[in-house]
Structure 1
């Protein structure tokens, strides 16, 4: 892939988690979360983005979200479970994305708030249509995702380098 071709990043917040008496990292999805994860997967499939790579937090709720969502995709991308995505700041998330190989044209990152929402805000220097308003109105709920586009190598991804092209949440 040429670095001059647009790349896509989907920032996907895990679905609704349950609150059993377990450590935060081990919290599973609630019943609503399981349903929303599958719906989000169908919406990702409808987007037509051919994901080359999925970067997923190691937390139980993110792994369960991705397991349910990926079943809806026509092509299962390579999935990397990355400990650094758990409780990561936008800067830490950018550092992980900067390590993405340049033969990857589209990636999905399955993570947590406030990092995922913060990353969408910080990367999206521009927005298409009403995507920014929809994202701002919804406060990036569980199972929501933002689609961003940028041109250049992954190592050049930095604040303001991308365009927010879409935002979706289960309540839409």
Structure 2
């Protein structure tokens, strides 16, 4: 797996309500660059439903298309609020496995840094998403299993937004 050319891409992973979007937006503002919002949110809002198994690959593909479009304009860093790996984790949980097309996206697309949001902030329900706090814990465990299985190094990011920003800034500077 190799990271694409262009800005250094940072994968921001975690379960629902773990602070991915908040951190991605704050990092982009701090580094005067762009971030890529999670397409799944738009999908759920637009379709008025949660995704089914056959939606997983198109959701991940659209996420990558938006990431590639943003990379053309990003400066230095591109902060990615989720990746195909997170879609694969949800596929594993909700649909019992990872579709071959989705697996190819995961394998073919790498990141310069991978951040995992610790589940240490208050959990809040997120619209039509089907997750609850208990499912979030299961998904977090599956995410850590997938990262280990794929030998993807990551940094667990913890604390308040300010603490998270300080931790990530130290990582990006090094």
Q: Which TM-score band (shorter chain)? A: 0.3 to 0.5
Could you tell me the TM-score, scaled by structure 2's length?
A: 0.32
- Normalised TM-score (structure 1): 0.32
Structure (1 or 2) with the greater helix fraction:
2
